[in-house]
Amino acid sequence: MRDARRERILTTRRFLLVAYYFPPSASAGAFRWTRLCRHLRSCGWDPVVLTTSTSPGFYLDVDPALARTLPEDLRVVRVPSWEWGTAYRLPRGCPVGARPVRSLRERIARRVGHEVRSRIRAALAPFLVPDEQVGWAARAYLRGRTLIDRLGIAAVVTTGMPHSAHLAGWMLKRHRRLPWVADYRDPWISCGYIDRNLRARWRRAIEARLEALLVRDADLNLVTTDTARCDFEARYPALRGRFRTVTNAFDPADFPGPPRGGPPRGADPVPGGRDVFRVVYCGNFFRKRTPLFALRALRRLFDAHPDLRSRIRLAFYGSFGFDEATGCWNREHVRTLGLERQVHLGGRVPHAEAVRLERDADLLLLVGGTDLDDGLHLPGKLFEYVGASRPVLATIRGGDAADLVRREGIGAVVAPDDEAAIAGALYEAYQAWACGGGRTVPSAVRERYRIESKAREVADVLDRLVAGGRA
């Protein structure tokens, strides 16, 4: 065993991964590189991860079990983050299963503290460019210099959001002239998640210049969709060779055993027995990604077919709103629509439990935003749904996600705000299930979106850059 480990060390090269979100963070941004880090060693590359502290205040969601899915000897270096977001997120950033706040005094103290910190954050936010994590980027750069000098790092990879991670990579590249790959999990200037009306014109101009600088100086820029790559190339035509698409993927290790073909294992994901059609959504809602259209479509379906009220259940797992007020507003819509018995709000659950719920569902719901530029995004959740091998109802705008669902024949695609079309797609999926249909994802499709192939793509990029070529 020791000789095998020594041989691996001698035949692999190290790269520094600068990633703000990393286990135990269960934020969506953590999963892409968590999965890649499990498999890059078999491709000849040993990651050294530079991330932020494990304090729950730094993360929206924390799942300690995620860290146990990584290689035991993976080197993970953590540096604290200077940001008001730490205090701002603390009320929501508690580990899955943490003790709830019970006493009135504790609830009042948290509420007052949350309000004060939120106001301070709102006042400071316009000046934190490109994002709140810019202070963390400075500390990551300083620690990264030490790691590069001590560990013989051959390349640097940064992943954002937050895009401050790319600032750290840019400074590290200048420090040692190492090859640098910037991974844009989400677009920057073109990001539809950010309300451009809330950003001052001077700040948008600074961010545009900053994006241009970092895109130009990176040896290669990775994106997760062809649409995002075309967007970058259209805005930077002189840099067409600097962009490459490496999509997200699912890890078969998260889905042990063959895909479900018969009755589900274990407890029902939705109360009501096993004779109901179970629709499951796992993920968070924020800003323009909302459950309201799906809820109204479900009510429309029940109005047209009252007998289905006892046959269909819709379950949401994750944050039911961007903040507490939005979550309360969404829950109120469940009540006013008369769907309390048909809609189950399960809250945040560990990732392993979310995977089980997805696999035991009869239909998986994928909700996109209502912006026209939402097609730039290809949610990592969709690939997890492919791994679960269950049919998908995608309420999304056109783009790579819609193309994937249609091309691979894994479900239906409708506009996110078309309640009639959503209701019709739900009814068709229910009819197929009631007739014993209920398609699964073909094994050939699952093979195309395994994480192992994406790890080989990333390793090939690093091999070429370190060899002095252009990836």
List the domains of the chain with CATH numbers. 2-249+450-466 (3.40.50.2000), 253-448 (3.40.50.2000)
pLDDT at residue 377 in the model: 74
Contacts of 346 (CB under 8 A, 6+ apart): 269, 315, 316, 317, 357
Express each pLDDT in 216-260 by its tens digit.
999 999 999 888 899 999 999 999 989 999 999 999 999 876 555
For residues 322 and 234, the model is more confident at 234
Cα 465 to chain centroid distance, Å, stands at 27
pLDDT at residue 319 in the model: 84
pLDDT at residue 403 in the model: 92
pLDDT at residue 383 in the model: 94
pLDDT above 60 for 467: yes
| The three-state (H, E, C) secondary structure of 364-429, written as one string | EEEECCCCHHHHHCCCHHHHHHHHHCCCEEEECCCCHHHHHHHHHCCEEEECCCCHHHHHHHHHHH
Express each pLDDT in 167-187 by its tens digit.
999 999 988 889 999 999 988
pLDDT at residue 379 in the model: 85
* Least confident window among 15-29, 68-82, 186-200, 438-452: 186-200
Express each pLDDT in 11-64 by its tens digit.
579 999 999 999 998 888 899 999 999 999 999 999 999 999 866 555 667 888
Express each pLDDT in 91-138 by its tens digit.
344 444 444 445 666 666 666 666 666 676 666 666 777 788 888 899
Give pTM, 2 decimals. 0.84
- pLDDT, the chain, mean: 83
Express each pLDDT in 400-419 by its tens digit.
889 999 999 999 999 999 99
